[in-house]
Structure 1
Amino acid sequence: MPHFRIETNLPRNKIPQDFVAKVVSVLAKSLGKPEQYCVVSVIPDVMMSFGGSSEPCGIANLMSIGGLGVEQNKKHAKILFELVANELGISSDRMYITFQDEPTGNVGYKGTTFHAIFG
């Protein structure tokens, strides 16, 4: 159910092969969710400018059912910004992350919603 999506102006060949797997693991631990439900997507080669500069930058969104909130988001932001900086070379002042806490009825899975599955 958690989904971390990052769009970046980095070319595909600058995204490490194991980046998605690393983020899935970190995301699952940070949110306290099973890895089997975590999704990470990277959209490289985006025509993007941050503050008028085309230096490496990105825009990201973390959607989850629960596990988000003012204090939790500070923890998630720290972990995700550090990982992106270390793995992709995008500094924390060249990216935004939006946090999106979705109710169970707004996320579909297996032909229904998480609300129907988990109540």
Structure 2
Amino acid sequence: MPYFKISMNKLLSGEQKHRALKSMHQLVVEALKKPDRFVMTSIADSQAMHFGLSDDPVAFVEFKSIGLPDTKALSAAICDLIMKEFDIEPDRVYIEFVDEPRNMFGHNRTTFEK
């Protein structure tokens, strides 16, 4: 059930979004060893965002999953992806990691609770 969303103040083309969504998906599959069919990715571009008092390119990431590995390594991988795909510097990125309890995430009329 991993969910990976990037919000940013940059405007992206359709092709940029398509390419980035694939890269985001691949990062999740490799980092979390989760099945493709459960990975959800999202991009919200052209958002009204400031960091400090600057409207230079900035990104906010929501990264949620049941069971997260080392978030320091994951933070580095996410920042590298954002730099490569969107040319946003890592010091202009905040990441919110949420390790969801199985019973707090629903799918297909149930939850992931065992």
* Percentage of matched positions with identical amino acids: 29
Classify the secondary structure of the residue corresponding to 2:13. Answer: helix
Distance 2:96 2:23 in 1: 20
Runs of 4+ in 1 over 2 A off after TM superposition: 12-15
Aligned residue number for residue 77 of structure 2:
79
TM-score by length of 1: 0.90
The alignment of Structure 1 onto Structure 2 pairs a total of residues equal to 113
TM-score by length of 2: 0.93
Q: Displacement of 1:44 after TM fit?
A: 0.5
Classify the secondary structure of the residue corresponding to 1:97. Answer: strand
Distance 1:26 1:62 in 2: 12
Distance change >3 Å, CA 5–CA 15, structure 1 → 2 = farther
Q: Which runs of 5+ in 1 are unaligned?
A: none
Match runs of 1:39-78 below 5 Å: 39-68=40-69, 72-78=70-76
Q: Which runs of 5+ in 2 are unaligned?
A: none
Q: CA RMSD in A?
A: 1.3
CA deviation digits over 1:52-78, x for unaligned, max 9? 11111011110000024xxx1011111
